[in-house]
Structure 1
Amino acid sequence: MLFTKASEYAMLSLILLSQANHPKDVDTISSELGISKSFLAKILQNLAKEGILHSFKGANGGFVLADKPSNLSIKRILESAEKRKVNVFECANSRCDCPSSKGDECKIWPMFNDLQGRIDEFLDQITLTDIIKK
């Protein structure tokens, strides 16, 4: 699990919002991106709960970035959109999550854990600004 539709839609929405001069509502964003309004609303609410977005109610309401794109790491965005840690493998962060070890020491877990650490570090270094520039 690295990137699901929720992750993809979160990223696309944040790129769109980073280029806006005013709050954009869910209807506008879903229309511009061709995304289901109800699914997008849940994603944007998660991002607002995590402090990535500010939300405003009313006629001129909508969502805006709560911080500069350069301060928003891709890892933080993904974890906020998914409402869970970014794991490449089910057991990457903890041997306790390993479905196949059954108490025995897993021979491949150290490699999974090392890979997870490298991916976490990589995703922490990439910001929304980096994505926008490419």
Structure 2
Amino acid sequence: MFSKTCEYAIRALIFIAQKTKDGDRIGIKEIAKGIDSPEHFIAKILQDLSKKGILQSAKGPTGGFYLDKASRKQSLASIVRAVDGDKIFQGCGLGLKQCSETKPCPIHHEFKKVRKDLLQILENAKVGALTDALENSMVFLKR
């Protein structure tokens, strides 16, 4: 459903939110290990998200990635938009360019509801709020 880049971005941001809630910063090696991702790939993703203001980073010996208060309140939908754009929320379920209300694809009306539900789920899921279940081992981010 999401691109691999988007999947890693979401997992990384939830992991960073958990590990930096007390003001700490976390490095790429620990993030990659914590979410079971290739180090160079997650580094590239996080650098891009940092440039877009989705998360914060600091250089130097005490540097690393972290989320400030505002970033913790971001929805998963905002991350999806930053990485994959709006296509998943607006695009055709079959990938057709001309799919619309007047010229629907075979699954247009059913997929419209799926898109709406997915958007609502992701808008309501805030990065910082997802860390509690993670800390209580009720959910996980690693295979």
**TM-score, reference length from structure 2:** 0.68
> What residue identity is the alignment partner of 2:32?
S
Q: Aligned equivalents of 1:110 and 1:39: distance in 2? A: 37
**Gaps in structure 2 of 5+ consecutive residues:** 134-143
Structure of higher RCO (CA pairs closer than 8 Å, 6+ residues apart): 2
- Structure 1 residue ranges (4+ consecutive) displaced by more than 6 angstroms after TM superposition: none
Whether the 8 Å CA contact 1:46–1:83 is kept in 2: the answer is: no
Match of residue 34 from structure 1: 36
Mapped to 2, the partners of 1:115 and 1:90 lie a distance apart of 11
Paired position in structure 2 for 1:129 = 128
- Aligned residue in 2 for 1:15: 14
Alignment deviations for residues 86-108 of structure 1 (CA, whole Å, 9 cap, x no partner): 5168426xxxx73475xx72254
Q: Is 1:87 the equivalent of 2:88?
A: yes
1:69-120: per-residue Cα shift (whole Å, max 9, x none)?
651111112222x34225168426xxxx73475xx72254344334322321
C-alpha spacing 1:133/1:68, structure 2 compared with 1 (3 Å) = farther
- RMSD over aligned Cα atoms: 2.8
Whether the 8 Å contact between 1:69 and 1:127 is mirrored in structure 2 is: no
- The alignment of Structure 1 onto Structure 2 pairs a total of residues equal to 126
Kindly state the Cα deviation for residue 34 of structure 1 after the two structures are TM-superposed. Answer: 3.3
Gaps of 5+ in 1: none
Question: What is the aligned partner in structure 1 of residue 139 from structure 2?
Answer: none
Identity across the alignment (%): 25
2:56 aligned counterpart, secondary structure? strand
* Counterpart in the other structure of 1:77: 79
Letter in 2 for 1:106: P
> Residue 106 of structure 1 corresponds to which residue in structure 2?
104
Taking a change above 3 Å as real, the CA distance of residues 86 and 76 of structure 1, as seen in their structure-2 partners, is farther
Q: TM-score, normalised by structure 1?
A: 0.72
Which amino acid in structure 2 is aligned with residue 62 of structure 1? G
